[in-house]
Chain A
Amino acid sequence: MKPLVVEKAQAEKWLEELCRVFDVFCPVKVKGDLYQWGRLGKKGLPRIPEGVPKTTIKTFFFPQPEVLFEFGARPGLKDAFRLKEPVCEKRPRLLFGVRPCDARSVVLNSMPYEEDPYFQKNRDETTMVGFLCKDGCSTCFCTWTGGSPLGMEGMDLAVVELEDGALFLEPITEKGLGLLEFDFFREPTEEEEVFVKGLREKVNKDAEETSSRLRSKGLMDLYNAPFWQEVSDACINCGTCTFLCPTCYCFDIQDETLRGKGRRIRYWDSCMFPLFTQHASGHNPRGDKLKRVRNRFMHKLKYFPDRFGPVSCVGCGRCVRDCPVNIDIRQVLARMLEV
């Protein structure tokens, strides 16, 4: 689809128009360099920080918690499972300033969630305006995992920030095209086209075959590799990595009741926790820390690729940045590739 350009001053008006239709979310500054996803606050164009915000956009597709359904919970209530779908009138959502790794995470999570009606409904109701990366952070490694700083997978509209603050807009989907039905735009100049093309050519996708190399390795060779002991020694099983990871998607389901009304909810769970796999009998197939740490990395880098193709990691580096004991998935990946 044909790209368009919006000047900085016009971009603010464009965003105002979008706010009439959508609930708009963007990375919001908390303090210093700390950004989290939140509702677009003050008027004007938000500054999209380099790299990724602390929190991920999985919360918009896999909310914390998701109400699966509601039910009557008085003892003996005849219609306990005459269920009611939760009614929640929402405006469509627009995520403004999604980095390519995070946009791609939604595509990857959609694979296991293909038949999950809640996830897919949230996806339908969300439009993603992605901001392509010209610089990265020291913890970025999207090109190792099949992504690219200029990747557009999962986005509806891809944005490149031009030198003068104007935005180069490339619609990817019909939804993205719909965002451009205003008079704020002009055709890109030849120089602008050359600039964006130049960025693309600089991207190095040398590690694109990571997933196929991992797929070709023996399951039990990786599972029984000696380095898991060393990797897990430092781990304190805090689960930070799983909660910050855009492609960690495990959940628990629980019932909540209050005054005769109940709801079944699902919320984020973590394979780092011993209770995650504990049977009612007390038996625990992943009772050891080593097994849990190994499961997290093996799931992302072997089990998921074996099942779906790509690795379940987008190289955003959040787990590297915030692990309290400095476990680095890049080192684990490198060691797995050596097996």
Chain B
Amino acid sequence: MAMDNEIKMNPYLPYPAVIDDIIVETEDGNLKTFRLVLEDEKDRENWNHTPGQFAMLSIAGKGEIPIGIASSPTEKGSLLFTVNRAGVVTTALHKMNKGDPIGVRGPLGNGFPVDSELRGKNIVIIAGGFAFTTLRATLIYMLEHRDRYGKITVIYGARTPGMLLYKEELKAWQSRGDLDVHITVDREAPGWDGLVGFVPSIAGQVRPSPENAAALICGPPIMIKFTMPPLEEAGWKDSQVYLSLENRMKCGIGICGHCNVGPVYVCKDGPVFTREEVQKLPVEF
């Protein structure tokens, strides 16, 4: 349907899209990656996002959910979203098939400062569980522009080998010479010959240098809490640590009032904040 320019500017209208592919990521089947293609060529051409941004996925009749964009803007033509089955909309999404219609509203939020503060820095990516999604986008972007960043270290952990996301890519990254990758699982598992241990203890062993560096940390709150002491011991400051917050959201553009943490809106001012910024806010996330 032809829509005039005026209505296209309406920030509540999703772009029509179609599910192009579905990848079951984890052994429990609760995490799937959806490859979406915007239906209109014009929308595909105009789409541009920063790693760390999110979008609202819309299912007609079910509603919307904010999901981090798992693909890098350098991966043109489609968008990846890795979705945990949790509520009404994500459950409906998990039941959908290739070719089904869906809406995408975004990109929303600020993203990681990959083209400003992070440029020229050594990068340490620390992720736990399914929070790896926007960090995958960030890593792909950085690898595409490898000369803009110094040493890149990745520490990623999941409960079991079967709960790791993007398994094929993890293998490929481990064999690259220009990346320092540490993949860990919580407990010994048959067939697993990699690292064993929680992300915080692996971070303590790797002990990345804070020298001209930035750390991007996404994971369950408990993981972030215990990852900070070993980093602080190594000399890291809160201003060097980037976190991505989550809250219930509706509008995604800083109006509806659901996601505020004190005076900031996670959807509009975030979701990415430095730990220094987060420490000044009430703990309402």
Contacts and interface: CB of A to CB of B under 8 A. Distances in A.
Interface of A: 68-69, 71-73, 76-85, 112-113, 115-118, 219-220, 223, 249-255, 257, 262, 264, 266, 269, 271, 276-281, 285-286, 291, 295, 298-299, 302-303, 306-307
18 contacts: A79-B101, A80-B16, A83-B14, A113-B255, A219-B262, A219-B263, A250-B257, A250-B258, A251-B251, A251-B255, A251-B257, A253-B256, A254-B63, A277-B248, A277-B259, A280-B87, A285-B285, A295-B284
- Closest CB pairs A-B (n = 7): A250-B257, A280-B87, A280-B86, A303-B263, A81-B16, A80-B60, A81-B103
Given A72-B60, A251-B257, A117 B10 contact: yes
Contact of B12 (A69, A78, A271, A278): A69
Contacts of B283: 285
Q: How large is the interface on B (under 10, 10 to 19, 20 to 34, 35 or more residues)?
A: 35 or more
B17 interface: yes
B284 A81 contact: no
Interface stretch (B1-9, B139-147, B153-161): B1-9
Nearest to A279: B248
A247 to B, nearest CB: 12
B197 interface: no
Contacts of B100: 76
A306 B86 contact: no
B90 interface: yes
Contacts, number: 133
Nearest to A85: B7
B61 interface: yes
A302 B15 CA distance: 36
Given A81-B14, A81-B17, A307-B263, A262 B61 contact: yes
Interface string B216-251: 000000000000000000000000000000111011
Contacts of B246: 279
Given A79-B16, A220-B282, A276 B258 contact: yes
Interface string B62-96: 11110000000000000000000011001000000
Contacts of B11: 115-117
Contacts of B101: 76-81
B256 A250 contact: yes
B278 to A, nearest CB: 13
Instruction: Pick from B87, B246, B263 the residue with the most CB of A within 10 Å.
Output: B263
A306 B281 CA distance: 13
Interface in B169-221: none
Nearest to A285: B284
Given A85-B7, A249-B257, 9 more contacts: A73-B61, A78-B101, A80-B102, A112-B254, A250-B258, A255-B60, A255-B63, A266-B250, A306-B263
